[in-house]
């Protein structure tokens, strides 16, 4: 059986940056101040657990923050959350992905120019919640501005744009805010699907971009499994298979990809 790994496997730039910022802060403030994050810095439980062991405190609300410093995750945070952190007088450490910040700047400009802002994405996702807070309460307008969550499936975004364009409008601005890494991972997965009869998608079950990769693989008709660690695999998945393709979400470390390849070889 052949094992083929997507070229884009492993951490993306934004995730590497967020982890480096967190690790640097934990190292610099070790034994001095507590360092918090509101929710996970990235959507990978294994990596977050490692940061917890190094002293990071992941909390669900501002009330649990008692001094020290707060890291804003790679996905960003709503404006009222950022204001709440500032009011507490704690140090704010910005680990927001630059691609997410780019989308935020677009929303600010569209709002200033009087556009009705349409965000295509998962409404409960931290990134989209942050974008919605910047957009504020939308007013109906014939000037439409359309952006996407950075980890959206490109085909889904295009389909949603087509629906929106059925509305009555005088002007429309469409921005491709899907990050390059997301697009490359999705394209690489589709290439593997042409030659593989089994796909393993590695990444956090709470990771939007990983779930989209799995959906792409599953919808192709190829047997596909979304896992976080090598221990979730079953030997019978590989019975009669000639080629297994491996891809991973943006917050999956190279070390986990290697562990899964090693376990498949043992099978």
pLDDT digits (tens, 9 = 90+) for 143-177: 999 999 999 988 999 999 999 999 999 999 999 99
Identify the pLDDT of residue 7: 86
Calculate the average pLDDT of the chain: 94
Identify the pLDDT of residue 115: 96
Domain ranges in the chain with CATH number 3.40.1010.20: 2-10+181-266, 99-178
Q: What is the dihedral of CA 219, 193, 157, 9, to 10 degrees?
A: 120
Helix (H) or strand (E) holding 168: none
Identify the pLDDT of residue 57: 94
Instruction: Give burial (CB, 10 Å; 0-12/13-18/19+) of 15.
Output: buried
Check whether 32 has a pLDDT greater than 90: no
| DSSP three-state, residue 34 | coil
Task: Read off the pLDDT of each residue in 63-79 and give the average, rounded to a whole number.
Answer: 92
Question: At which residue do the structure tokens 């000037």 appear?
Answer: 143
Q: Structure tokens of 203?
A: 């990444």
Which class in CATH covers the domain with range 2-10+181-266?
alpha beta
- pTM (2 decimals)? 0.89
Fold entry, domain 13-96: Rossmann fold (3.40.50)
Quick one: pLDDT band at residue 60, thresholds 50, 70, 90? Answer: confident
Domain ranges in the chain with CATH number 3.40.50.11270: 13-96
Architecture of domain 99-178: 3-Layer(aba) Sandwich (3.40)
Helix (H) or strand (E) holding 165: none
Summarised one tens digit per residue, pLDDT across range 186-214 is: 999 999 999 999 999 999 999 999 999 99
Catalytic residue chosen out of the listed positions 127, 160, 171, 230: 127
Question: At which residue do the structure tokens 């990983």 appear?
Answer: 210
* Residue 155 falls in the annotated catalytic set: no
Residue 19: closest CA among 48, 58, 59, 55: 48
């Amino acid at each position: 059986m052949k094992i083929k790994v997507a070229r884009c496997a492993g951490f993306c730039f934004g995730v590497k940056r967020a982890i480096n910022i967190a690790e640097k802060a934990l190292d610099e403030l070790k034994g001095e101040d507590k360092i918090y994050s509101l929710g996970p810095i990235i959507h990978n439980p294994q990596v977050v657990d490692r940061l917890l062991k190094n002293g990071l405190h992941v909390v669900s609300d501002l009330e649990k923050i008692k001094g020290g410093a707060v890291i804003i995750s790679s996905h960003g945070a709503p404006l009222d959350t950022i204001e709440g952190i500032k009011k507490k007088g704690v140090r704010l450490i910005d680990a927001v992905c630059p691609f997410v910040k780019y989308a935020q700047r677009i929303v600010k400009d569209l709002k200033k120019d009087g556009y009705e802002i349409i965000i295509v994405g998962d409404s409960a996702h931290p990134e989209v919640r942050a974008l919605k807070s910047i957009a504020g309460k939308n007013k109906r307008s014939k000037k439409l501005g359309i952006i996407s969550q950075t980890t959206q499936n490109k085909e889904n975004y295009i389909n949603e744009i087509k629906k929106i364009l059925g509305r009555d409008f005088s002007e429309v601005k469409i921005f491709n805010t899907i990050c390059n890494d997301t697009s490359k991972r999705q394209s690489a997965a589709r290439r593997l699907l042409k030659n593989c009869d089994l796909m393993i998608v590695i990444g956090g079950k709470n990771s939007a971009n990983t779930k989209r990769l799995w959906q792409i693989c599953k919808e192709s008709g190829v047997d596909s499994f979304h896992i976080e660690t090598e221990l979730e695999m079953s030997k019978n998945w590989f019975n009669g298979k000639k080629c297994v393709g491996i891809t991973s979400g943006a917050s999956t470390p190279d070390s986990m990809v290697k562990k899964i390849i090693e376990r498949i070889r043992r099978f």
